[in-house]
């Protein structure tokens, strides 16, 4: 444990970069809000990563709070989406973030690292 955070401290730069290239291509389906929801999901991920960069590595309570907040945003997007597969992917993302938040609150970022690393593929597939 270093600076109060287990598993190396902060989210790896590679995970941040991977999340920022979240694919939203192919989301536009005629008569669907899928493209808009996918674009909002991408912005949400980017905002979340930006917010995480601002939080001190030794402040797990703030990491938890921020992660819980963004989990709620994914829940809201899931409700907004008229695409069932996308709604499920967004609800799953929210659940993963909430599970990771519980561990982050104890100073362990391993689950958060994994969740963020897997986010581009999961949401990219749902938006594709």
Residue 32 confidence (pLDDT)? 86
Whether 22 and 120 have beta carbons less than 8 Å apart is answered as: yes
The span from the first CA to the last CA of the chain, in angstroms, equals: 39
Q: Which residues of 25-47 are buried (b: 16+ CB within 10 A; e: fewer)?
A: eebeeeeebbbebbebbbebbee
Q: Under a CB-based contact definition with an 8 Å cutoff, are residues 81 and 37 in contact?
A: yes
User: One digit per residue, pLDDT tens: the chain, 128 residues?
Assistant: 334 444 445 554 344 444 444 443 444 445 689 999 999 999 999 999 999 999 998 899 999 999 999 999 999 999 999 999 999 999 999 999 999 999 998 888 899 999 999 999 999 999 98
The percent helix, strand, coil of the chain (3-state, each to 5) is 70, 5, 25
User: pTM surpassing 0.85?
Assistant: no
């Amino acid at each position: 444990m270093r600076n109060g955070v287990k598993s190396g401290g902060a989210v790896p730069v590679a995970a941040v970069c991977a999340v920022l290239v979240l694919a939203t291509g192919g989301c536009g389906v005629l008569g669907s809000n899928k493209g808009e929801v996918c674009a909002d999901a991408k912005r949400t991920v980017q905002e979340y990563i930006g917010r995480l960069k601002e939080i001190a590595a030794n402040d797990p309570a703030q990491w938890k709070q921020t992660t819980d907040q963004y989990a709620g945003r994914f829940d809201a997007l899931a409700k907004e989406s008229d695409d069932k597969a996308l709604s499920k992917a967004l609800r799953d993302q929210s659940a993963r973030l909430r599970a990771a938040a519980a561990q982050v609150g104890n100073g362990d970022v391993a689950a958060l690292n994994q969740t963020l690393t897997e986010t581009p593929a999961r949401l990219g597939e749902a938006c594709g």
